[in-house]
Structure 1
Amino acid sequence: MSNKFLDLAVLLQSYNEALASRQIADSDEDLERLAELLEYMAAADSQDNTVFPFPYNRLKYLSKSSVYVTGFGFTRDFTPQEYRVLAGLQRLGVNLNVGVQADAYPTTPQAIEAGPEAFLIGRRTLAHLKQRFPESETRKIEPELSRLQAAIAALTADTSSQSPANQTEAPENYGLSFIQLPGKEAEVDYVAGEIRRLTQTAGYRFKDIAIALCDSHTQLPLLRTAARRYDLALFFDETRSLAGTSLLRYLLGLLDLPLRNWARDPVMTVLRSGLTPLTPTTIDLLENDLLARGLFRRDRLFSKRVLAEPQSDDPAAQRIHHAVTTVFEPIRTFTEKLHKAGTTAECCNLIRSFFNEQGIAARIENEAEQLRACGEDDAALLLVSAHSVLGNVLEQLETITGNLPISLTDLRDTLRSGLSNANVTLIPSALDQVVVGDWRRVSQLSCQVVFVLGACQDMFPSKGSPEGLLKDLDRQFLSNQLSVSLPSIARDHVFADTAYLHQLLTRPKHLLYIGTSGGEPAEIVQQLKAAFPGNVIIEADGAVDFSDPRLNSRAAAWHSLLRLTGLNQNLTPSTAAAWRALARRLSVCTGNGNFNPLDQSLLPSGVDFGSGALLAFASAGYATPATPSGAAAAGGEISAEILTGIYSDTPALSVSQLEKYAACPFSHFAAYILKLRERSEYAPQHTDTGRILHGVAELALTDLTARLTTAGNDPEAVKAALAEFCAQDVTQLTKSLMVEVIERESMEALNDAGIKADVGRRLQLISADSLQAIMGQLQPEGFLPQEVEWKFGPNQPDKFALELADGQELQLRGVVDRVDVRHQNEQAEFKVIDYKSGDVKVNFETLYYGLALQLPAYLAAYVASHPGIKPAEAAYFHFDRPMLKDSGALLEPAALEKKLANAFKLRGLVLDPVVLQLLLEHTCEKLAGFARTLFAGCFSVAPVRVRSAKPACAYCKFSAVCGFNRRDFIDLRTLSQISGADGESGKKALSCILLNKAAANDQVSNESGSTSTEGSNNDGTTDTNT
């Protein structure tokens, strides 16, 4: 403990020396200096003909004045400094009046501790005042209490006494209500609705009502939302921090720009502060423009290309140029001057000058007016206060360290600390407002109605505040050593809270509402419930209550009507009529959506509306909502007319589009009909990686196909051409091909020095290793590249069409990365190879269910265009740079090459030719089936999955749009696993199913009068939803 005191003494000594060296006084010593001044004046005034020098002569009037001191003796006693001030005022001849909250004047030390705890601190203070001022007069002031105040005061002041409600008469309602609803949000909504009811029908004004919060952290956001919904005028009585004001964000953003090389965060912080001349819409578009062109960096933002006059047909370039010249260029000049400034005073003057040049004061006033127009009066006052506080902080910074040098980082940190820790207290911006605040602050108000929210255990009252550097034991030790009375924070906190509780609960004159939703009621609440059995308890019983004050919000009223429809419960004629009248009032409600409770004259009588609110709507003349024109009745469907307008009479789709539709119809709808896109960003994306790798392979193998074409059918020439191609330096070849691909695909981002050193280098290494593996897989007598980037579709020489219902034709389109051909025994056969930058493997379940359509569809498309060539195989090639596991043994180069070749091995179907042909037919059936469902307008949110593969939802970008529950994908429709008769592997199972399906189809076609069971897949499987 002695070490703690020693450390504290050293810190205080250093602090005092630092203040003295700068000729600055500590504000904590203000009372001490005031006491010394009053004692000096009192001593001088006792001498005859004393003339006080300036400025003390200006305080001469105090000797003939009356001073009233209130607020003490409630939660704490006077400090020694404050007692000195009181004594100095008395000696000066001031008519001193001190108010203390106490139940009685204690004549003995035992009487101080004997009374109610709510007045313990007041009795102590009163006794100490009498000791220091024995000649003083004590006068007790009895407050005028209402029935509610008197009843609660009798309980809270002395919990052992009997409340009036515990007498033999029938329980009486004193205006006390308890709210016990399912959660805090429901409690806040109820209170907001009740306030509307009180102000509309009970004659109260907003200023007569106060809301005491026991958990401000969670309740304040809910109240702000409810205030807008119920059109309440609220004033939040709290100490406000300047940390979130737009001015602080603007200033810190300015200083962060040069420190973070004009990165996106500080740039957008400055723009979105609202203190620039740009409009919010322009800023939104500008952010997209800067992201797409990668200009979030100083050298890029102020490059010659950006500063040059933009083309008239490029609105994005025009927006960027306007922002740079009008906003960013002055900021760059300002920050460069700041960086060169020598002292703190120069920096402060530069900030003032820049703010004056930019008209920040006028912009703050304009921003404040916009906030007031939106009903955010408190935020407007806080913004204006922040501007005033900034001026004070700059002045203090100049005074303390004006001649000292300061770095830009230190200047930013100092201003951030000074402004973030500056708190302001606002006054109500209007006379008629509901005061909202912490329950201790509200206890000081005089009002007629009080709502106490969140009066649960551990929150009402809350746990004690931190004790600080010196704990209670330290204070007690120091008190004993110095023979000085020091307060105990932990002990006094309990007595202070008791006093606050008494004052809060006795504040309302007419009505007191106590909410305990979402927790166990506090002890004092339980005592009140037991002492006042005539109170009103507001609980949720699950039934729709027409008298619920929450119906004072239009949104809540509509919700209740819809909920009533869902319950489909029987309504009495009068209740149904009331709901019908509510519907009528809602239908004509205008303005902000709030309205007075139902006028009884509007309620028709003697009409039975049967069960359900929809019947009531119909009886009132309001039809249920009709289906919009052009839309189908079922959810997630679009009419054929709309789809025809989108796809035309002869639709064309890619294989990947139908594959996406098979995984989830809505995903196809969002991607290809709504055309939802993530905004473009200047950075290499995963798709860019694929384009680079595909491009390198395409250019290299295009060169090989040209060589092979020149070689013709001569085996030796083919062998020589292949050997010459594979003998190239792969590293140099890859570098040159990447340059060509980047230029062709307009991917200049990869030429950036930083990106090139990171992503560019990685792509080059992957391309080189993959190209080396491709070369190793080519054999003169085997499959050799015949087509690279082979295209088929409506506008291509090669076409692939499927016939749908009613003679409609679907044109499929696609691009096959590579088609290899082999001539053997006078028979040509081919295989298609699809390049993948991701780790994709053949999954026979997804092949069967149509979730992986590309490989077999590409085979079918090539067969349709080249009927003389036989399909042999389809495979994936994975671009990679594999890392081999270290087995601990040194491997020969040949063994290493074998392992690497194995890592790049093609991942093919490897099916029997007959089964492969059946798979092509099965895939075409799937393509046609998906297309028919698509053109029927079905785009519901219905993703599917197979257990052996990740679902499409795992990679979908539209989850925020569809709202599907992705948690563990528990709601996905899971397709049944395919299995063979003897439980073979996936490939054998697929072969068995396709062969069985073909045999069943042959049998059906051969049997006359045969019928098929509706819903059967003819393959021994069914789709199940698990």
Structure 2
Amino acid sequence: MIYGKGGSGKSHEIYRQIQQRMALYPDRDFIILVPEQYTFRSEQKVLKELGQRSVFRVSVLSFNTLVKKILSTVGGSAHDLISDNGKIMLMTKVLGEVKDDMSVFKGVAGKAGFVAMAKNLVDEIRRFDLDPESLRSVAKTTEDKELKQKLQDILLIHDRYDQEVHRDHIDATDEIHFALDRIEGAGFLKNSEVYLDEFNDFSVMQLKFITALLHKARRVVLTLTLPPAEGSSDVFQITRDTERKLLRAAEDAGVSLEKPLELSGEPPARFRENPELAHLESEYFHYPSRSFGGPVRSLTLYKAQNSYDEVERVAKDIRRRIREDESLRYRDLAILCRNIDSYENIVTTVFREYDIPVFLDKRRDMDNSPLVQYLLAFILIAAEGYTYEALFRMLKTGLSPVATEDIDLLENYILAHGIKGGNFQKEWVYPYPQMKDELGKSYLAQVNASRTQIVDFYSPWVEKIRQAGSARETTRLLFTHLEEDGILDRYIALVDRTGSLEIQKEREEVQKGLVKVMDDLVTVLGDEPLTLEVYAEVMKQAMQNQKIALIPLTLDQVILGDVARVKSDSIHGLYILGVNDGVFPRAIAEEGIITDRDIRKLKEAGLEVFLDSKTRAVYEQFMVYTAFTIPKGFLAISYVGADLEGKSLRPSLVVGRVKKLFPALVEEVAVNPLDHRHAGLEEVEGKTATFNQLIQEMRRNYQGDPVQGLWGEAFRWFQEDPAFSARLKIAKDGLNYTNTALNLSRASVKALYGDQLYLSVSRLERFTACPFAYYVEYGLKAKDRKIHEITPPDVGQLMHTVIDQFTEDLKGMEGPLTSLDRKAIRQSVDELVDRAIAETNTIYKSSARYQHMGEKVKRILHRSVETLTNQIAKGSFVPMFNELAFEKDGKLLPPLSVEIPETGEDALLMGRIDRVDVMELDGRSYIRIIDYKSSAKNMSMKDVFYGLQLQLLVYLEVILRNWESILAHEAAPGAILYFKMDNPLIQGSVGMTDEEIELEVLKNLKLKGMLLKDARVIRSMDKDMDGYSLIIPARFNKEGEVVSSANRPDKNREMILTEEEFGILRGYVMESIGQILKELFEGNIAITPYKDQDKIPCTYCTYRSICQFDTKIAENHYRSIKALPIEELWNRMKGGEAHGQSVDE
């Protein structure tokens, strides 16, 4: 046994002993046994330390390769070994067969990830050499119902899986058993010394194998990271347990134990020239600990803004160190992180900019490859038909024969019409969405040509695959398709176009991996009949499980990996990224099929198996220790203050501990790059990175900030470089970019909008919100992609239609409205909804989800119609018109003509008023305008002033202007109100009576808007009004005056208006519209959205990618809506200040 701390020289001692004993015993061979991931680097070290001659006597093996060597020597290797992928395939099949017989895992057996969890659990049972009968005994005797059911499910899975595996195959554990049975015949071991290095723990099967080696080999040497027992920390509990098991195995084997070698020199050999790292190793897990007294040079701590900043800092530091130390090579440096998936793309991108070679030391997923995605999607098409998801997942890989433009046109068409797989065989006749005339016909013909191309190309293969009948034949057909139809050739050409050697190597590995998966599928499932659905699931699980491994393209590269994969013998400097809470060390979540509670119960029953979360947490702490003892030159620790979305993140406890151990350590904190006023030579690192910094310096110079002269030299250098000169020109032009839209010419306005302007009020409000958005929507007529779905406007339109028809039906009703009971109203609503759906929107019937949505609409309308019926019944205002149109060739009302100031032109406003109620009083008609909304809306005097809320006042203007032509007598404003169509959820309704709930509903659905300050008119809207109203936003104060519901002076002035004030508002709105029309007529398309506190129209605007509005550009700013006192608003409107001016921000 060789004991020692991390960095004490245990591996070096092994090589020293081998070299010495090679000379002493020329007839002996030597085996170095290491974990699988270390074999390549250990072979390199053998050559370096022992010379080329050593290759004839020294072998570097892992447990797997040693087992295979034994079996190949003595026989037994002819068995068909199932691969890891084969296990996944069989487990997928087994779970599909037994899931209905399970109790605990029945609901999750088909979920993503469970297949791998179940396979790993069975593997663990075999690695622990656990007899299933002992689990069966616990299942029978335990009184814990949950554990009993869980063990029964596990045994059901295990037994069926074990039966399937051993029908034609063996697994790795079986191989170890075979090797153990035959190890006596392995003559090469009898004359070999075996050295086990870099292990921290062993499985039960590995311990049995080591015991056999103790019997067979001449000598067995093991290294363990374990300091002298006195006072050593719990962090070494794993290796201490391993020592105990090894010594017991040696005792059971009856072999002699040489005197252990303890490498106890202080500090450990690796840190003798580095007091800071020596102190970190000795004190980090030692309590009480001592603080480091001197200056800190070999340890750094950095708080980054985010992971991009963190990686860029590392790149700059690597470049600096390589430049300053001529003996240092990239291969001497490594980067570790516990969440490597979060960093790999960032590191490869940033390091490419800094011209730093980096090797990602991890097995990579291959299921994201275009080739794998193509194959998986094609299998789904064979299984399910031409579904949208499978078809376009396949087409968009770029490996199909369909052209990219044709794919886009096809996708638009299918989305617009909701075409399912079964509709692919017949010619499509629906018009192409949002296209008319000849262009629409041309697109439709093109789409049908693409449909025919797809059917002709794929359907013959689909039919053959559906009739294949076995996994072997299905796999053969799939590979034949890939090969004969040029799919593989397209994939190779697609990758070759990147020009990247690394991506080409990855492509080669993907192809090998694909062939391996297909071979495994044939080997494992062979002639077994499988449904295509099962085959598709098996293939998907296998592709997700299959990993690819790349070897370094050059030896001189920075290594990026996990702490468990990086060897420590050649690393000079180490960067540990992401030292954040829950990341390093990794937070241990109790997850998996077997929980800590289950492990505790099994232990009570005498079964010490599986690792609980406490043990795994100790292992994580050991990983921290291992990481800290890897480098011999320097250690750089960094963490991020926020994630890439800006969410704050906490540092790991490691950071606080390191600070306590090193009081003189200065934590560096990231500074915003835009705050670097004098970037100098230190920022010149790598072409792309320097170019990016140059752009920042150009921006500072453009803004008038001082920059160093070297950036002028850099500018001239990049100007002469053909690879950067074009990009530099674009960047220079970009600095002068203003992102402003110049006014259109009069001719362009007429070409876009016509000689005669026809507009709706909502379009005017859209223009006021942002002229450029109006231009894109109504001038350029840009449209969102049409999708066959129910949208909020569709729902709103349906509810409008039903309410309009219901209120129209009320006109012909005999008797008072109070005679309508709830049942009759709901029955009428249901009939109207069903009729409207049948006539206008059959999508509601296309799926269970949309049918549920239709039922939800009915419930909203039940409540809404009941409420508005009650509102009408409680007052004297009578609905006279529903959906009253004022438009060109209107039956009752013409469009509203508005003169455009200073142009001699006019515009015609058109629209449709949801409901017009009338009440006759003293020979006058009082008008109440009702507008239905599907979301909450109220009138705002501020929005009226700034031209953002014009609709109801324009409707009132139209009615009052034309009333005499309708009823031949005078009309006056009564109210302009919004009604929200809703079925409100009443908070705290538990325990309330039905009457109390109904009262709260009426409060929630109260009409909102502006009312005439006339007590008789107010009472005509709510005859039962006593103090306050449940119908309108008004009440009577103590003096009997009409006031707003809130009874605040500002709200009273805003919501309760005299007839004169209604007149002022109408006049102001018409003047505002004139000014808005003038701007529109003059071609204003400015990118100037308004801003009202936090409210901006950009939030839900679909044209943001077109306008590119960015407040960082000097010319881009919001029009700030300034809040003004209500009296000032009235004074300005009385004074004729049309179309309130916003403030540029």
Note whether the superposition's TM-score is higher than 0.5.
Answer: yes
Give the secondary-structure state (helix, strand or coil) at the position aligned to 1:291. Answer: helix
**In structure 2, C-alpha distance between the alignment counterparts of 1:932 and 1:976, rounded to whole Å:** 25
Give the secondary-structure state (helix, strand or coil) at the position aligned to 2:630. Answer: helix
Match of 1:398 among 511, 525, 535: 525
Contact persistence 2:790–2:844 (CA under 8 A): yes
TM-superposed deviation, 1:659? 1.3
User: Is residue 2:532 matched to residue 1:408?
Assistant: yes
Unmatched 5+ stretches in structure 1? 43-61, 596-616, 629-634, 704-728, 892-898, 966-970, 982-989, 1002-1016
Q: Which residue of 1 aligns with 2:360?
A: 236
* Further displaced range: 870-879 or 653-662: 870-879
Match of 2:454 among 313, 316, 327: 327
Q: Which residue of 2 aligns with 1:50?
A: none
Contact persistence 1:945–1:974 (CA under 8 A): yes
Q: Which residue of 2 aligns with 1:576?
A: 708
User: Is residue 2:447 matched to residue 1:316?
Assistant: no
Unmatched 5+ stretches in structure 2? 1-129, 140-150, 642-649, 810-826, 987-992, 999-1005, 1008-1019, 1023-1030, 1035-1054, 1112-1117
TM-superposed deviation, 1:242? 3.7
User: Is residue 2:426 matched to residue 1:303?
Assistant: yes
Give the secondary-structure state (helix, strand or coil) at the position aligned to 2:570. Answer: coil
Match of 2:167 among 18, 22, 34: 22
Match of 1:591 among 714, 723, 736: 723
Q: Which residue of 2 aligns with 1:294?
A: 418
The aligned runs of 1:11-410 (5 Å cut-off) are 14=159, 18=163, 22-42=167-187, 62=188, 69-73=195-199, 79-84=206-211, 86-87=213-214, 90=217, 100=223, 134=256, 151=275, 154-155=278-279, 158-159=282-283, 173=297, 176-198=299-321, 206-257=330-381, 262-295=386-419, 297-305=420-428, 314-328=441-455, 330-335=457-462, 338-339=465-466, 342-370=469-497, 373=500, 376=503, 379-381=506-508, 383-399=510-526, 402-403=527-528, 405-410=529-534
Match of 2:544 among 404, 415, 420: 420
**In structure 1, C-alpha distance between the alignment counterparts of 2:292 and 2:984, rounded to whole Å:** 89
In structure 2, what residue type is equivalent to 1:218?
S
Q: Which residue of 2 aligns with 1:639?
A: 742
TM-superposed deviation, 1:925? 1.1
The aligned runs of 1:723-742 (5 Å cut-off) are none
TM-superposed deviation, 1:680? 1.1
User: Is residue 2:757 matched to residue 1:652?
Assistant: yes
User: Is residue 2:693 matched to residue 1:557?
Assistant: yes
The 3 A distance-change label for structure 1 pair 10 and 585 is same
Q: Which residue of 1 aligns with 2:570?
A: 446
**In structure 1, C-alpha distance between the alignment counterparts of 2:661 and 2:950, rounded to whole Å:** 72
The 3 A distance-change label for structure 1 pair 116 and 217 is closer
The 3 A distance-change label for structure 1 pair 594 and 856 is closer
1:470-517 Cα deviation digits (max 9, x unpaired): 9799799989989999999559837953762364123x5xx5433345
**In structure 2, C-alpha distance between the alignment counterparts of 1:739 and 1:528, rounded to whole Å:** 68
TM-superposed deviation, 1:224? 3.7
**In structure 2, C-alpha distance between the alignment counterparts of 1:503 and 1:653, rounded to whole Å:** 77
**In structure 2, C-alpha distance between the alignment counterparts of 1:638 and 1:73, rounded to whole Å:** 67
Match of 1:803 among 900, 913, 916: 900
**In structure 2, C-alpha distance between the alignment counterparts of 1:824 and 1:483, rounded to whole Å:** 90
User: Is residue 2:619 matched to residue 1:493?
Assistant: yes
**In structure 2, C-alpha distance between the alignment counterparts of 1:812 and 1:926, rounded to whole Å:** 15
TM-score by length of 1: 0.65
Give the secondary-structure state (helix, strand or coil) at the position aligned to 2:787. Answer: coil
1:177-205 Cα deviation digits (max 9, x unpaired): 44344443322111123334456676565
* Further displaced range: 196-205 or 23-32: 196-205
**In structure 2, C-alpha distance between the alignment counterparts of 1:475 and 1:916, rounded to whole Å:** 78
Contact persistence 1:292–1:681 (CA under 8 A): yes
TM-superposed deviation, 1:783? 6.1
**In structure 2, C-alpha distance between the alignment counterparts of 1:756 and 1:161, rounded to whole Å:** 60
In structure 2, what residue type is equivalent to 1:939?
A
In structure 1, what residue type is equivalent to 2:176?
L
**In structure 1, C-alpha distance between the alignment counterparts of 2:914 and 2:896, rounded to whole Å:** 17
In structure 2, what residue type is equivalent to 1:926?
S
**In structure 2, C-alpha distance between the alignment counterparts of 1:537 and 1:786, rounded to whole Å:** 69
Q: Which residue of 2 aligns with 1:854?
A: 951
Contact persistence 1:785–1:821 (CA under 8 A): no
**In structure 2, C-alpha distance between the alignment counterparts of 1:698 and 1:465, rounded to whole Å:** 57
The 3 A distance-change label for structure 1 pair 1025 and 843 is farther
Contact persistence 2:513–2:547 (CA under 8 A): no
Match of 1:922 among 1068, 1072, 1077: 1068
**In structure 1, C-alpha distance between the alignment counterparts of 2:948 and 2:208, rounded to whole Å:** 82
Q: Which residue of 1 aligns with 2:680?
A: 546
TM-superposed deviation, 1:270? 2.1
Contact persistence 2:925–2:972 (CA under 8 A): yes
Contact persistence 1:252–1:416 (CA under 8 A): yes
The 3 A distance-change label for structure 1 pair 939 and 140 is same
1:866-901 Cα deviation digits (max 9, x unpaired): 997876569789797999999689x9xxxxxxx999
The 3 A distance-change label for structure 1 pair 230 and 210 is same
Give the secondary-structure state (helix, strand or coil) at the position aligned to 1:435. Answer: strand
Contact persistence 1:943–1:973 (CA under 8 A): yes
In structure 1, what residue type is equivalent to 2:400?
T
In structure 2, what residue type is equivalent to 1:652?
L
Match of 1:791 among 862, 883, 888: 888
Give the secondary-structure state (helix, strand or coil) at the position aligned to 1:679. Answer: coil
**In structure 2, C-alpha distance between the alignment counterparts of 1:114 and 1:738, rounded to whole Å:** 73
Q: How many residues of Structure 1 are paired with residues of Structure 2 in the alignment?
A: 880
Contact persistence 2:183–2:212 (CA under 8 A): yes
User: Is residue 2:1090 matched to residue 1:943?
Assistant: yes
Contact persistence 2:742–2:1086 (CA under 8 A): no
User: Is residue 2:630 matched to residue 1:504?
Assistant: yes
In structure 2, what residue type is equivalent to 1:278?
V
TM-superposed deviation, 1:662? 2.6
Give the secondary-structure state (helix, strand or coil) at the position aligned to 2:401. Answer: coil
The 3 A distance-change label for structure 1 pair 308 and 431 is farther
Contact persistence 1:792–1:814 (CA under 8 A): no
Give the secondary-structure state (helix, strand or coil) at the position aligned to 1:305. Answer: coil
Contact persistence 1:69–1:98 (CA under 8 A): yes
Q: Which residue of 2 aligns with 1:725?
A: none
Contact persistence 1:181–1:540 (CA under 8 A): yes
TM-score by length of 2: 0.60
The 3 A distance-change label for structure 1 pair 841 and 205 is closer
Match of 1:677 among 778, 783, 790: 783
**In structure 1, C-alpha distance between the alignment counterparts of 2:1021 and 2:1060, rounded to whole Å:** 28
The 3 A distance-change label for structure 1 pair 260 and 877 is farther
Give the secondary-structure state (helix, strand or coil) at the position aligned to 2:313. Answer: helix
Give the secondary-structure state (helix, strand or coil) at the position aligned to 1:591. Answer: helix
**In structure 2, C-alpha distance between the alignment counterparts of 1:459 and 1:181, rounded to whole Å:** 15
The 3 A distance-change label for structure 1 pair 171 and 5 is farther
TM-superposed deviation, 1:288? 1.8
Kindly report the root-mean-square deviation, in angstroms, between the aligned alpha carbons of the 2 structures: 6.8
1:833-883 Cα deviation digits (max 9, x unpaired): 787574687726244543232344356568889997876569789797999
* Further displaced range: 301-310 or 930-939: 301-310
TM-superposed deviation, 1:922? 1.3
Contact persistence 1:788–1:817 (CA under 8 A): yes
Give the secondary-structure state (helix, strand or coil) at the position aligned to 2:762. Answer: helix
In structure 2, what residue type is equivalent to 1:557?
Q
Contact persistence 1:118–1:157 (CA under 8 A): no
Contact persistence 1:253–1:269 (CA under 8 A): yes
